[in-house]
Amino acid sequence: MCYAGVTRARPARAAGGRGGVALQDLDLVCGRLHDAGLRLTGPRRRLVAVFAGLGHWCTPAELYAAARAAGVPAGRATVYRLLEVLVEQGLCRVFAQRDRSVRYVFCGPGHHHHMICEDCGRVTEIAECAVEPPPAGFAVREHAVDFFGQCDRCQAAKT
């Protein structure tokens, strides 16, 4: 029951494909955090739900603000610690920005790629993997492919 309080979190953006994460995925994520030794207090669980439901990338400060807006009493230290453990567990991707800020994307379990809108920050997961394996002789452990650009909504807003 890691998604306790999820109803008070900002709901995942409805339009434009999947935003947010299925509840069973959230359970899985919380299980992994628990196994990693993170004590999952109520606020922490709700913070995971807020992050997972965000549907766009965020700085730690933005996640903190989103948590506050959702009524989750999580301090800045809790936000940083959670992001740290999520990254360690491969449940969060980190993108360094040219302005030296760092943006985080919640990453549910299961292989997928991302489309990230650089205008509004919306993140859409792509479940289908069409990546060709490299030439023989290289033992691949993993690959990551992310597309950066402008989402359909931002394109429509500009025309």
Cβ partners under 8 Å of residue 123, min gap 6: 55, 56, 57, 105, 114, 115, 116, 117
Which position among 48, 82, 107, 116 is part of the footprint of Zn ion (CB under 5 A)?
107
Q: Does 146 bind Zn ion (CB under 5 A)?
A: no
Instruction: Output 23 or 43, the one with its CB closest to Zn ion.
Output: 23
What contacts 116, CB < 8 A, 6 or more positions away? Answer: 57, 95, 105, 122, 123, 146, 147, 148, 149
Q: Does 131 bind Zn ion (CB under 5 A)?
A: yes
Q: Would you count residue 151 as binding Zn ion (CB under 5 A)?
A: yes
* Identity of the amino acid at 58: C
What is d(CA 75, CA 100) in angstroms, rounded to the nearest whole number?
23
Smallest gap from residue 50 Cβ to Zn ion (A)? 16
For Zn ion, which stretch binds (CB under 5 A), given 17-25, 31-39, 51-59, 102-110? 102-110
Please pick, from the candidates 27, 84, 88, 119, the single residue that binds Zn ion as defined by CB under 5 A.
119
Is the dihedral angle over the CA atoms 22, 26, 31, 32 positive or is it negative? positive
Q: In the bound complex, what is the minimum distance in angstroms from residue 29's beta carbon to Zn ion?
A: 11
- Pair 109, 29: CB distance under 8 Å: yes
User: CB-wise, 1 or 145, nearer to Zn ion?
Assistant: 145
- Give the residue from 6, 16, 93 showing the smallest Cα distance to 50: 6
54 binds Zn ion (CB under 5 A): no
Please identify, using beta-carbon distances, which residue of 44 and 122 lies nearer to Zn ion. Answer: 122
Site residues (CB under 5 A) for Zn ion?
107, 117, 119-120, 122, 129, 131, 151, 154
